[in-house]
Amino acid sequence: MEADFVIVGAGSAGSALAARLSEDGKHSVIVLEHGGTDFGPFIKMPAALSYPMNMARYDWGYKSEPEPHLGNRRMAAPRGKVIGGSSSINGMVYVHGHAEDFNHWAESGATGWSFADVLPYFKRQETSHGGEEGWRGTDGPLHIQRGRLENTLFQAFIDAGGQAGFELTDDYNGSKQEGFGPMEQTIHQGRRWSAAEAYLKPARKRDNVKLVRGLARRIVIEDKRATGVEVERRGRKEIVSARREVVIAASAFNSPKLLMLSGIGPAEHLSEHGIEIVADRPGVGANLQDHLEAYIQQECTQPITLYSKLNLFSKALIGAQWLFFRSGLGASNQFEAAAFLRSKAGVKYPDIQYHFLPVAIRYDGKAAAKAHGFQAHVGPMRSNSRGTVRLRSANAKEAPVIRFNYMSTEEDWADFRHCIRLTREIFSQKAFDPYRGPEIMPGEDATSDEALNAFIRDEVESAYHPCGTCRMGRADDPRSVVDPECRVIGVENLRVADSSIFPRITNGNLNGPSIMTGEKAADHILGRQPLAPSNQEPWINPRWETSDR
């Protein structure tokens, strides 16, 4: 098996890469994917999002090591093991990130990845239904819609934000991220619109694209040049050869793991596992970042939440309506109202994200509160905590050792306490007067720093946004793993293009920036002139130096 380009991973970035590298018909592409088909209602039906993330069939099933600052809890770390990767099992929330996130990338060595550079790629990838004119794509493969805000609690949340003195925004992916407004979803015609739907399935209709099922064991490297990928298929080892390049797009956990299995990584660590060193890159597996969030839950005094729909009979009705008409509650992920806020005066752009939900329930669908309720998922966006991904052994079948090192700074705790108190302020606004019952979580007694810290330690969850473990930066920076054209430093014909290359985590959910990374990397790989930079100026709050709102 041989192709011009071999891509490891059929996920968000890998699917975009496969489509763009093959679209002119001049190059052949093989995509390697360990997971199976994305066919089935659990993936396609937006409201069923809690199922695929908890199914061994679709998820790698990784867990962190005991987290020392969170009571030694082992945190779930799902990643998609399926066509479409994590875009097939995620919450379908679509966020570009803030302009300043990408400017920070460029300033820290990822030249050519400033906001002006990446905005044209976001536009190329999307068809925005209802986004801000001039700032959004109108003919890309990825369809983006807004929730219908039919439940009155969504509007109550947005109104409460305005009443608390915060900004409102019609499109946080347009000129103005800061404020309260509708949330955007990768949902189209009532179905999850994953990277597989947008990119990979259309590309597979071409003769020059082939999907190969198998576990990537290592990159084959000869004289510091990548020539292919060793794959295990049906119990046998095979080599898939790349005439031009190998591109790894296997996730923030599996991309560094594959590099290390191939001899690229921290020399001392590789030697411990008896792996021959090809390139000593200490940055491989370092710089792991993620978003954490807490669920602030409030009882609702009116029976208008989704609590009444959690019984089997209602679920059957919702499922039937979705199956036959692609409509109703099943056609939404229920994340339809959002906010991006600044935590204090002197913070230039938002560092807090909200998802609002008209039911009190956990992300995994478990432990629903025994009452009508609503909740806000809230968390800080730019923690200074950093973790690592390491090899458990030289066996490709073993899960990597994941240590997030969450909440390792005093600042993390102060930021989270502020998020909780801010949420209480928002829920106390007039807009919620007709609906507000007692607080379920953390509970009205939890007011002191100590009580809030205990709640955070016991209840905070990952938002499942891992990134940063194959950091992009200057080629002469020892912490960099790839250069600004996504080339692995020290090895020829090998690139990494997925969320692992992010120098720093972006604001919000990472699916959008991961797809953008695949889009932009394809132009670098093909040696094309990058899209012309944008000259649009994003909105920055004129009061940022003196106020948080």
Would you name the residues annotated as active-site residues? Answer: 465
Distance CA 264, CA 255 (A): 11
Tokens of 494: 């090998």
Residue 288 contacts residue 465 (beta carbons within 8 Å): no
CB 144 within 8 A of CB 185: yes
Distance between CA atoms of residues 136 and 224, nearest Å? 41
User: What single letter denotes the amino acid at residue 192?
Assistant: R
Are 520 and 118 a contacting pair, CB within 8 Å?
A: yes
> How many whole angstroms separate alpha carbon 508 and alpha carbon 90?
13
Q: How far apart are CA 434 and CA 481, in angstroms?
A: 54
Q: Which residues have C-beta within 8 Å of that of residue 387, sequence separation ≥ 6?
A: 288, 289, 290, 402, 403, 404, 405, 406
What is the CB-side half-sphere exposure of residue 349 using CA atoms within 13 A? 20
Q: Which two tokens stand for residue 316?
A: 């059957």
From 434, 53, 28, 42, select the one nearest 242 (Cα to Cα): 28
What type of residue sits at position 502? F
Burial class (CB in 10 A: 0-12, 13-18, 19+), 39: exposed
Three-class secondary structure of residue 165 per DSSP: coil
What kind and span of H or E run contains 21?
A: helix 12-22
d(CA 530, CA 515): 16
Burial 320-354 (b: 16+ CB within 10 A, else e): ebbeeebebbbbbbbbbbbbbbbbeeebebbbbbb
Binding residue numbers: 4-33, 82, 90-93
Q: Which of 247, 192, 225, 187 is nearest to 18 (CA)?
A: 247
Do 340 and 380 touch, CB atoms closer than 8 A? Answer: no
Whole-angstrom distance, CA of residue 378 vs CA of residue 366? 19
CB atoms within 10 A of CB 531: 16
| Helix, strand, coil percent content, the chain, rounded in steps of 5 | 30, 25, 45
548 token code pair: 């948080």
